[in-house]
Amino acid sequence: MSVLAWILRWPPSRGTVVVFVVLTAFSVGSLVAFGGLVVDDAGENVTVEATDLTVRLNDEIDFPEGGNGSVQTCVGMGTPGDTFSVAGTVTLDVPREWERHGSDGRELVLVVTLAHTEETITSSVSRTGQVRTQVFGLLDDDETLSPGDTGTLVLRVRHDGSVVATATRTITVKEGTRTYDC
């Protein structure tokens, strides 16, 4: 006996109706029990691929000498006195699945911290794929590091208040300078 002929026989027999109801109930029950066809993207993680960051410290607070008591206009360049500057790029790998998360108005945020301080530098990330994010910030010198010392940068990627990726990088603090054009 052919299954197709058995299914297409009208009106259906009681056996056919019972088999149809049981199969339908089993299918719906499986969808409810196992969450249907929703794909969980928890396995798709954001990762910190590469960093090219420089940390400079200018211990000195120096100002250009003024001439004969007059007002002088100057443009300063470099790391301000008694300050760390953190500058460079961080490359993130953001899976395409995160595009869906950004559509709700909450972006990924890169947070860079010099490990011995509590100050942070933040930068938003709004694309997916290989993303190069520019980082620049000034942090107050807490007098714990000097030029030539080794420090640690902590990089965290946050989404909606929770950390989705973290990395640490060891860096050598470089001498920062400040020049003035008057």
pTM of the model: 0.65
Q: Looking at this protein, which amino acid is placed at residue 35?
A: G
Q: Choose the weakest-confidence range: 37-46, 103-112, 149-158, 173-182.
A: 37-46
Q: Is the pLDDT of residue 26 over 50?
A: yes
Residue 88 pLDDT: 93
Residue 101 pLDDT: 56
Task: Report the alpha-carbon distance of residue 145 to residue 87 in Å, rounded.
Answer: 17
Residue 42 pLDDT: 45
Q: Where in the chain is the domain with CATH 2.60.40.10?
A: 47-181
Instruction: Answer yes or no: CATH 2.60.40.10 is held by domain 47-181.
Output: yes
The tens digit of pLDDT for each residue in 28-42 reads: 877 777 664 444 444
Residue 41 pLDDT: 43
